[in-house]
Structure 1
Amino acid sequence: MAAAVFSHGGAAPAFAQAQSQQEGIDYAQWDRDASRAEKVLAEGKATTPAFDTLRSELVDWRTRFLDAQNINSSRIKTLRDQISALGDPPAEGESEPKEIAQRRAELTKQLNQAQAPSLKAVEAYSRADGLIREIDQTIRERQADQLLKLGPSPVNPVNWPAGLIAIRGTLVEVGNEIAANWDNPNARASLRSGLPVTLLFLTLAGLLTVRGRRWMEILSDFLAQRGRGRGRTLFSGIASLGQIVVPTLGIVLLAGALKSSAMLGLRSERLVQMLPMLGLTVFTAGWLGGRVFAQLGVSHAILTLPPERRSEGRFNSWILGLILALAMLAREAGKVEEYPAEAVAVLTFPILLLAGLMLSRMGQLLLVHVRADTAEGPEERSYRNRVAAFFGRAAIGAGLIGPLLGAVGYAEAGDFFVYPSIMTLALVGFLLLLQRFVTDIYAVLMGRDVEDPENGGDLIPVLIGMILALLALPVLALIWGARVADLTELWARFTAGYSIGGTRISPTSFLTFVVVFTLGYALTRLLQGMLRSTVLPKTKIDPGGQTALISGVGYIGIFLAGVVSVTTAGIDLSSLAIVAGALSVGIGFGLQTIVQNFVSGIILLIERPVSQGDWIEVGGVMGIVKDISVRSTRIQTFDRTDVIVPNADLIAGQVTNWTRQNLTGRVILKVGVAYGSDTRQVEKILMEIGESHPLVMVNPAPLVVFQGFGPDALEFELRVILRDINYGLSVRTELNHEIARRFAEEGFEIPFAQRDIWLRNPETLGDRPAARTQAPGPFLPRQSAEPQPEPLDDLGGDADGDGGDGPR
C-alpha cells in the first residue's frame, strides 16, 4: 500500500518543463560572446565606446540569466517539501523501509533535474556579472588616467601660436564653405526661393531673443507686485519660466533660418546645430540667478543678501551661463577640427580661468549670506548655514585650484574641479527653488498665505523636499563624472536584490513585506477601534481591563502582521537563526533592562495589579495611572506633572493601590483639646461631625479614639471610612472646618505647644563684665542686665524647636 502511495508522479514532467524553459537561452552563443569579451579584456586595446557596446550586450545576457534563475521554482519547492515529509535520512549504519528509500531517491533525482536549469543560469549570471565588473573597472581606470594626464601648458608662450592658428583656420574654413555655397548657382537659387521664410524666421528670432525675455520678466514682476490672491508669487514663478522658453525658441528659429539659407557647410552646420543648446544654457543660468537672487517674485528670499549683492549674484549667473556655453562650443570645435593638444589648451584656458574667477565670487556670496543669516537666527538655521558655508568654501577652493592645475597642464583635472562645481551650485539652487515652489503650492492648497512667515513649517513640504534631494543624487553623480552605465548598474543590482544569509531580498519582496504589514497593521487598528467603541463598552469589564485587552490585541496583531508579511514576501529567516541567536546574547546583556521592563509590562496587562485610572503610590510617587505601555507606566501626580515609572518597579517594588479593588478608604483626623475639657462631650461632637458628612459610610460607622494624654493636649482621632477615597483631601478639609466651628461653639480650646523655661543661677547674669554687655548685633541675642523672674512662661514661642506654634 505504501508503494502505491509513493508511486504516483515521476521525473518526466519536471524535466520536460526545465527543457522547455531552457530553450529560450542559447548557451552556445553565450559562450562565444563571453569568450570574445574575455579576449577583448585581456588585450585591453578596445576604445571606450567599444567597451560600452560590449558591456550593453553582456547586460542583456545577464538580465536573461537573472530571469532564468526562477525556472521551476514552484516545482523545486514542492519536491523539497515532499522530501522533508519523508523525514530525516537514516544515519550512517541505519536503514529505512525500502519503499521510502526508493521514493526518496526518486524525488532527489527529480529535484536535481529541476534545479539544473536554474543552477546553469546562476553560473552564467556570475560569469556575465564578472565580465561587466571588469569592463567597468577598465573604463574607470582609463578615466583616472585621463584625469591625471599632463598636457602642454597654456601659459607657455611657445604654445600660443598653435591656438591662434587653430582658431584662424576654423574661421577661414567656415568662410570658404559659405563662399563656395554662394558661388554655387543652385545654392543661390535655394536662398532666393526660401528668402521669405528665412527673413520671417530671422525677424521672429530677433524679437523673441532680444525682447522676449524682457516681456516675460515684466509679466512675472507684474504678477508678483500687483497680482491678487494667495498664489500671486506662485503664478509669478510659473510665468518666469517664459524667460527660458521664449528666448530659447528665438534661438531655435535663428538656427532654422541659417539652415534654410542653404549657405552653410559641414563645419558651420554642426556649429549652428549647437546654437539652441548654447542658448538654453545661457538663458537657464540667467533665469536661475534671477530667481535665487531675486528681489521680487518668490514668497521668501532664498538667500539673505543686501540688494547690491543680489544684483552681483544675478550678473555672475549670466556670466557663468556664457562661460559654460563657450566651453561647450570650444569642446565641440576641437572635436570637429581635431585641434592639436597645444591649441586646445590655449583656447580653453582663458575660459577656465574666467570660470574659476566667477565660481570664487559665487562662493564669496554664499559666505556673505551665511554671515548675514547667522546674525538673524543663529540657532534655528545653524545646520543650513553650515552646509551653505561648506559649499561657499568649496566653491572658492575649486575656483582657485582648477585654473592652477590647468595652467600647469592638467587640463582635465582643472575642468574637473571647476565645471562640475558650477553645475553643482546650479543644481542646489534649482532644488531650493523647487522646494520653495512645492511649499507655495502646499500653502495655496491648504488655504494659507504664501508669504506667511509660518509657511513651510509643515512636515509634508519638508518630506517632499527630502524626496527631491534624493532624486537629484543621480544627476549629481552624472555631473561629477559618473556614467549612465554606472547608474543603471546600481539600479540593476538594487532590483536584483541582495543575498543575506542565503536569502535574496529584492525590492519586490521588500515592497510585498511593506504592503502586507501595512494591511495587517491597519486591520489591527481597525479591530482595536471596534473593540474600544462598540464591543467593550457593552461589557462589564472595568476601564483598566478594557485598556489591557485592547493593548494585548494590538501586540498580537502587530506580531502576526510581521510573521505573515515575512512569509508572504518569501523571506527565509531560517538561515539567519544562528546569527540571530549569537546576536541575541549580546543584545540580551545590553538591553536586559528594556527586556525586563517589557516582560513586566506584559505581566501588568495580564494580571492587572495596576490599571489605568488607579490611584497608586510607588517609590515615593503618588498619582493617577494614565497609561501603561510595554516599557513604562505614566503616572500623573496631583501637581499635574507626569512621572514615567519603569514597569519593573511596579512588579518588583512595593506599590500602594488606593483604588484597585474598590474606592473606599479611611481618613484619620487628629485633634487635641485643652486639659480639663469634657472628654465624653468631645467624643460625642466628633462622632456627630463624622456621621453628618455625606461621603462617610454608616457601616462601618465612624470611630472616635481617645489616644492619650499628650504633652500639650488631650489627643483624639476621628477615623471615618469614605465611599470614594478620591475625595479624601476635600473631605478632610470639610471635616476640619466643621471641627473648628463646633469646638468654638462648645467652648473647647484647641491648645498649641507650651514650654516652661527655667534659668539656673540667674544672679550670675548681673555679675558679667561690662565689656561683654554690648548692643545686640545681627548674630547676638538681646540680653538684659537684670535677672528675670523664674519660671518664664513662653506662651507663644517655639521652645521645643519643632518650628510650629502648636499641633496642626
Structure 2
Amino acid sequence: MRRLALLAVLLALLTGGPAAWAQDGPDYEAWARIAEQAETVTERGRASDEAMEALRGQLADWREQFLTAEGRNSDRIATLRSQIAALGPAPDVAAGAAPESEDVAARRTELNDQLARLRAPVIAAEEAYLRADGLIREIDSLIRERRTDRLLELGPTPLDPRLWGEAGKAIAGTVSALYDEAIRSWQSPTGHVKFLSNLPIIAVSLVLGLVLIFRSRIWMRRLVRRMRDATRRGSGVWRLVVSLGQIVLPLGGLLLLVKATELTGMIGPHASPLIDGLPVWGATVLLVWWLGDEVFSRADDVATVPLEPARRIEARVHVGILALGLAAHDLVVKLGGSERYSDEVLTVLDFPVLVLVGVSLFRLGLILSSRPAPAESDEDGSLSYARRLLWFIGRAAMVIGVVGPAMVAVGYGQAGLALVYPAVGSLILLGVLSVLQRLIFDVYYLVTGERDHEQGGLIPVLAGFVLILAALPVMALIWGARTADLTEIWARFREGYSFGETRVSPGDFLTFVLVFVIGYMATRLLQGGLRNSVLPKTTIDPGGQTALLSGIGYVGIFVSALIAITSAGIDLTALGYVAGALSVGIGFGLQNIVSNFVSGIILLIERPISKGDWIAVGGQMGYVRDISVRSTRIETFDRTDVIVPNSDLISGTVTNYTRGNTIGRVIAPVGVAYGTDTKKVERILQEIAAAQPMVLANPPPNVVFRGFGADSLDFEIRAILRDVNWSLKVHSDINHDIARRFAEEGIEIPFAQRDVWLRNPEALRVPAEPVGEAPAPAEEKPEEEPKA
C-alpha cells in the first residue's frame, strides 16, 4: 500500500506539474494540491531516494515559475510608487495637520488601489516561492541525512572467513550459468546455424579487433614519437591530437570483438550485461592509460608533472593498475546487480580490488610527494607553488590509500568506498586539467609564435583559470555531490542577492558590465577622434589638449557607470546610504589619495605645468612626461623617471623653466689673473657672447665685472637664449671659446694658491733628552778664521 501511495503521488506530480499555466500566471490551485502532497511525503519520510529526487525536481520547476512571476508588472509598480511619492506623504489629521484637498486624496486612493491590485499576484508568487523553497530544503536535508547514515553504517567485514565460502559459491554459480548458456546456445539448431552463417564476419571482426587492440597503440606511439621530434610550429597540438588514436583505435578493436561475440548467438541473460559493459570498461582503461602516458611522459618536454625518468616509469605502472582497478570495481558492481549478490558477497569480491587500488594509490602519492630536483625550487631554496601542490596531493593520496581499505576491513564499507574511488577519480580529473592546460599553451604558441609557453601570456593563464572553475562541479560530483545540489547553487545564483528592496541577479550584473563596456569604448573612441582629428586643427596648446581629453575621459566613465547602474535596475538610494556611512572612514584612510586626486584635477584645469615642461620641484629637475589624476611623471636628465604626487606640485614651490615660452638666461662665470686689463677682458667676452647663434641680439648679451676675488678678477657673461633647453650646450661652447681666446690674447686664468705661515715654529723643535741618559757629546767649535 505504501508503494501504491508513492506511485499515486508521483503520478499526480507528473500530471499536474508546472506545465499547467494560466495566461495570467501559475495555476495556484494545482500548486496547492502538489504542495500538500509533497508535505505529506516529507513528513512521513518513507519514500525512496529516487522518489524524493523526482519530487524535488517538480518542486524546483514550480519555484522557477514563481520566481519569474515575482517580476511581473515591475515597471508599472515602480511607476505607481513614483506617482504616489510625487503626491507627498499623507497629512496626519489626528496630529492636527490640515487635511489635503479632495482631488489629491481621491487621486492617492486611486493610485493605492491600482498598486494593491498589481501587487496581489506578486505577493502570491512570493508566498508560493517561499513554500516551494522550504519544501526543497526539507527534501535535501532528508536525503543528506540518509546518505550520512549509510556512510556511517557498520556492515560486514571482508576478513570474515565465513563469507568467503558464500562468495566462492556465488562466483561458481555465475560461471556455471554462463557456461550453461553458451552450451545451450551452441546446441540449439538456430544458434548453431546462426554461428555458421556469421562465421566469416565473426572471423574478420575477431582478427581485425585483436590487431587493433594489440598493435594500434604501438603504431600510434611511433607516430607520436616522430611528431614530437619535429620542431615545427604547432607540433605539440598535432602530437596530442594524433595521440588520441591510442584510445580510439583499440576501442574500435574492442567494439569489433563485442560485435563478433554477439554474432555468435551464444549471449544469454547472464552474459549480456557483461558484454554490454565491455566497451565502457575498455574505454576507462584506455583513457586512464593514455592520461598516464601524457602526464608522466617519457619526454621531459611533454610530461606535465616534473619528475625523474625512473619515477615517471613507476608512476605510469601504477596509473595502469588504477585503471584496471576502476574497471574491475565496476565489473563487480554490475555483476552483483545482474546476479543479485548479497552485500556480504559484494564486499568480499570487491575487497581485493580495493586493496590493490589502495596500494597503487599509496605508491603514486609517494612518488608525487617525493623530494624535488633543485631546478624545481625557488631561488631561496623553497618549493615552488606547483611542487607544494603536488606534495599535498601526494600526501593526501597516501593517507586515503591506507585509510580506505582499513575502513572497509573493519566493516565501514560504504565509507571506505566513498573515500578511495573518488580519490582516484580526482587524480584523473587533475591529470586531464594538466593536459588541457598544456594544450592551451601549445595552441597559444601555434597562434602567436611565442616559444615561452611555460610563461605563456595573459590569455592562456586566464583560460587555465576558467578550466579550474569548470572542473569544480565535476570534482563535486566525483565526491558524491548530487546533481540537485549543483542545480540548487545555480538557482541561488540566478535568484541573485537582495540589497534592501533591490535584488541583483547575474543577468543584472551582465547588463551592468555590457552597458559600462559600451560606454567606456564610446568614450575612448571620442577621445581618439578628438586627439587625432579635431584638436590638432585648433590653437589649443598640448597641455590644454591633454587636460580636455582627460576631463572627457573622467566624465565619460562616470556617466557610463551611472547609465550601467540604472540599466541594471540597481537602486542607488541604498548604495548612497552605504557610501555615506563609509565615506568618513574612507576619508581618513584615503585622505592622501583624495588630496592627490583633487590636486590632479587642479593641475589639469589651471595647467601651471604641461606635458613637456622643464621643471624643478623637491630637488628634482627634468621634463614632465605625463600628468595623471594622482601623480606626475618627470623624466630627469639622467633618463630616470621620478613620480611626484600632485599635492606636492600644488602646495610646494615649483620652478617651470619653459612655461609659456622657451626663452631663458644663461650665466657663464670666469676669472682672470690680477694685473690683467679688465676692459680688454670685457671686450673679448662681449665678442664671444655675441658670436653664439642661440643668444638673442635684443636684449644684447651683457658682461659684468663682479668683483675682486681671493684668487682672480671675477667676470660673468649673462645672455638671453631663444631656447633655454640648449643652455648647457651654449654654456659649454662659451667656455671653449673663452679658453681659446684667452690663450691667443695671453690672458691668464689663475688657479687657487695658498701660502702656509707657521706662527709658532719653536713648537716643531726636538724635545730635550730625558734625565738619566748619557749626555750627548759636545759639539766641536769651528776654528775661527784668521783676521786679516
Q: Same fold (TM over 0.5)?
A: yes
Quick check: 1:125 aligned with 2:126? no
Using the TM superposition, give the Cα deviation of residue 596 of structure 1 relative to its aligned residue in structure 2, in angstroms: 1.0
Q: Distance in 1 between matches of 2:639 and 2:382?
A: 31
Counterpart for residue 283 of structure 1: 286
Using the TM superposition, give the Cα deviation of residue 132 of structure 1 relative to its aligned residue in structure 2, in angstroms: 1.1
Q: Secondary structure at the residue paired with 1:717?
A: strand
Compared CA separation, residues 179 and 500, structure 1 to 2 (3 A): farther
Using the TM superposition, give the Cα deviation of residue 526 of structure 1 relative to its aligned residue in structure 2, in angstroms: 0.9
Compared CA separation, residues 116 and 289, structure 1 to 2 (3 A): same
Compared CA separation, residues 305 and 378, structure 1 to 2 (3 A): farther
Using the TM superposition, give the Cα deviation of residue 539 of structure 1 relative to its aligned residue in structure 2, in angstroms: 1.2
- 2:403 alignment partner, one of 385, 401, 404: 401
Compared CA separation, residues 765 and 191, structure 1 to 2 (3 A): closer
Deviation track 1:755-794 (CA, whole Å, cap 9, x = no partner) reads 33221232442343579xxxxxxxxxxxxxxxxxxxxxxx
Q: For the Cα contact (< 8 Å) 2:632–2:645, is it kept in 1?
A: yes
- 1:103 alignment partner, one of 101, 107, 112: 107
Deviation track 1:461-511 (CA, whole Å, cap 9, x = no partner) reads 222222222212211111111111111121222222222333222222111
Using the TM superposition, give the Cα deviation of residue 139 of structure 1 relative to its aligned residue in structure 2, in angstroms: 1.6
Q: Distance in 1 between matches of 2:564 and 2:385?
A: 39
1:483-502 matches, cutoff 5 A: 483-502=482-501
Counterpart for residue 791 of structure 1: none
Q: For the Cα contact (< 8 Å) 1:299–1:440, is it kept in 2?
A: no
1:23-422 matches, cutoff 5 A: 23-90=24-91, 93-182=97-186, 187-188=191-192, 190-191=194-195, 194-225=198-229, 229-296=232-299, 300-368=302-370, 370-371=372-373, 373-374=375-376, 382-422=384-424
Of stretches 271-280 and 174-183 in structure 1, the one that deviates more from structure 2 is 174-183
1:638-787 matches, cutoff 5 A: 638-769=637-768
Using the TM superposition, give the Cα deviation of residue 373 of structure 1 relative to its aligned residue in structure 2, in angstroms: 4.7
- Taking structure 2 as the reference length, the TM-score comes to 0.89
Q: For the Cα contact (< 8 Å) 2:612–2:625, is it kept in 1?
A: yes
Deviation track 1:4-31 (CA, whole Å, cap 9, x = no partner) reads xxxxxxxxxxxxxxxx976441111111
Q: Distance in 2 between matches of 1:770 and 1:741?
A: 61
Compared CA separation, residues 658 and 471, structure 1 to 2 (3 A): same
Compared CA separation, residues 223 and 638, structure 1 to 2 (3 A): closer
Q: Distance in 1 between matches of 2:374 and 2:716?
A: 73
The CA RMSD measured in Å over matched residues stands at 2.5
Counterpart for residue 456 of structure 2: 457
Counterpart AA for 1:739: I
- Taking structure 1 as the reference length, the TM-score comes to 0.87
Using the TM superposition, give the Cα deviation of residue 263 of structure 1 relative to its aligned residue in structure 2, in angstroms: 3.0
Using the TM superposition, give the Cα deviation of residue 644 of structure 1 relative to its aligned residue in structure 2, in angstroms: 0.6
Counterpart for residue 564 of structure 1: 563
Using the TM superposition, give the Cα deviation of residue 189 of structure 1 relative to its aligned residue in structure 2, in angstroms: 5.3
Q: Secondary structure at the residue paired with 2:571?
A: coil
Q: Secondary structure at the residue paired with 2:547?
A: helix
Deviation track 1:101-143 (CA, whole Å, cap 9, x = no partner) reads 2111101110110111112111111111121122112222222
Compared CA separation, residues 88 and 744, structure 1 to 2 (3 A): farther
Deviation track 1:246-300 (CA, whole Å, cap 9, x = no partner) reads 222232333333344443333321222211111111111111112222225x964
Q: Distance in 1 between matches of 2:453 and 2:117?
A: 68
Q: Distance in 2 between matches of 1:671 and 1:131?
A: 98
Of stretches 31-40 and 641-650 in structure 1, the one that deviates more from structure 2 is 31-40
Compared CA separation, residues 372 and 750, structure 1 to 2 (3 A): closer
Q: Distance in 2 between matches of 1:263 and 1:95?
A: 97
Q: Distance in 2 between matches of 1:30 and 1:589?
A: 55
Q: Distance in 2 between matches of 1:416 and 1:637?
A: 67
Q: Secondary structure at the residue paired with 2:755?
A: strand
Q: Distance in 2 between matches of 1:380 and 1:545?
A: 53
Q: Distance in 2 between matches of 1:186 and 1:454?
A: 63
Q: Secondary structure at the residue paired with 2:717?
A: strand
5+ long unaligned stretches in structure 1: 1-19, 772-808
Compared CA separation, residues 674 and 494, structure 1 to 2 (3 A): same
Compared CA separation, residues 383 and 455, structure 1 to 2 (3 A): closer
Q: Distance in 2 between matches of 1:760 and 1:310?
A: 90
Compared CA separation, residues 769 and 737, structure 1 to 2 (3 A): farther
Compared CA separation, residues 267 and 589, structure 1 to 2 (3 A): farther
Using the TM superposition, give the Cα deviation of residue 194 of structure 1 relative to its aligned residue in structure 2, in angstroms: 4.8
Q: For the Cα contact (< 8 Å) 1:370–1:388, is it kept in 2?
A: no
Using the TM superposition, give the Cα deviation of residue 372 of structure 1 relative to its aligned residue in structure 2, in angstroms: 6.0
Counterpart AA for 1:401: V
Q: Distance in 2 between matches of 1:324 and 1:745?
A: 102
Q: Distance in 2 between matches of 1:763 and 1:214?
A: 107
Runs of 4 or more consecutive aligned structure 1 residues displaced over 6 Å after TM superposition:
376-381
Deviation track 1:384-429 (CA, whole Å, cap 9, x = no partner) reads 2121222122222221221222222222222232211211111111
Q: Distance in 1 between matches of 2:249 and 2:638?
A: 68
Compared CA separation, residues 467 and 571, structure 1 to 2 (3 A): same
Q: For the Cα contact (< 8 Å) 2:294–2:302, is it kept in 1?
A: no
Q: For the Cα contact (< 8 Å) 1:686–1:718, is it kept in 2?
A: yes
Using the TM superposition, give the Cα deviation of residue 535 of structure 1 relative to its aligned residue in structure 2, in angstroms: 1.0
Q: Secondary structure at the residue paired with 1:756?
A: coil
Compared CA separation, residues 229 and 521, structure 1 to 2 (3 A): same
Q: Distance in 1 between matches of 2:608 and 2:439?
A: 56
5+ long unaligned stretches in structure 2: 1-20, 771-788
Compared CA separation, residues 347 and 770, structure 1 to 2 (3 A): farther
Q: Distance in 1 between matches of 2:397 and 2:205?
A: 41
Compared CA separation, residues 91 and 525, structure 1 to 2 (3 A): farther
Deviation track 1:591-616 (CA, whole Å, cap 9, x = no partner) reads 11111111111111111111111111
Q: Distance in 1 between matches of 2:197 and 2:368?
A: 55
Counterpart AA for 2:363: R
Counterpart AA for 1:538: K
Counterpart AA for 1:280: A
Q: Distance in 1 between matches of 2:24 and 2:664?
A: 86
Compared CA separation, residues 21 and 705, structure 1 to 2 (3 A): farther
Q: Secondary structure at the residue paired with 2:623?
A: strand
Q: For the Cα contact (< 8 Å) 1:304–1:369, is it kept in 2?
A: no
Using the TM superposition, give the Cα deviation of residue 84 of structure 1 relative to its aligned residue in structure 2, in angstroms: 3.2
Compared CA separation, residues 499 and 737, structure 1 to 2 (3 A): same
Using the TM superposition, give the Cα deviation of residue 195 of structure 1 relative to its aligned residue in structure 2, in angstroms: 4.8
Q: Distance in 1 between matches of 2:340 and 2:373?
A: 48
Of stretches 515-524 and 750-759 in structure 1, the one that deviates more from structure 2 is 750-759
Counterpart AA for 1:86: L
Q: For the Cα contact (< 8 Å) 1:22–1:117, is it kept in 2?
A: no
Q: Distance in 1 between matches of 2:604 and 2:667?
A: 34
Q: Distance in 1 between matches of 2:501 and 2:246?
A: 56
Q: For the Cα contact (< 8 Å) 1:146–1:412, is it kept in 2?
A: yes
Q: Distance in 2 between matches of 1:591 and 1:162?
A: 77
Q: Distance in 1 between matches of 2:591 and 2:150?
A: 57
Q: Distance in 2 between matches of 1:510 and 1:576?
A: 15
Q: Distance in 2 between matches of 1:429 and 1:197?
A: 39
**Identity across aligned pairs (percent)?**
53
Of stretches 272-281 and 72-81 in structure 1, the one that deviates more from structure 2 is 72-81
Q: For the Cα contact (< 8 Å) 1:633–1:646, is it kept in 2?
A: yes
Of stretches 173-182 and 430-439 in structure 1, the one that deviates more from structure 2 is 173-182
Compared CA separation, residues 756 and 219, structure 1 to 2 (3 A): closer
Counterpart for residue 4 of structure 2: none
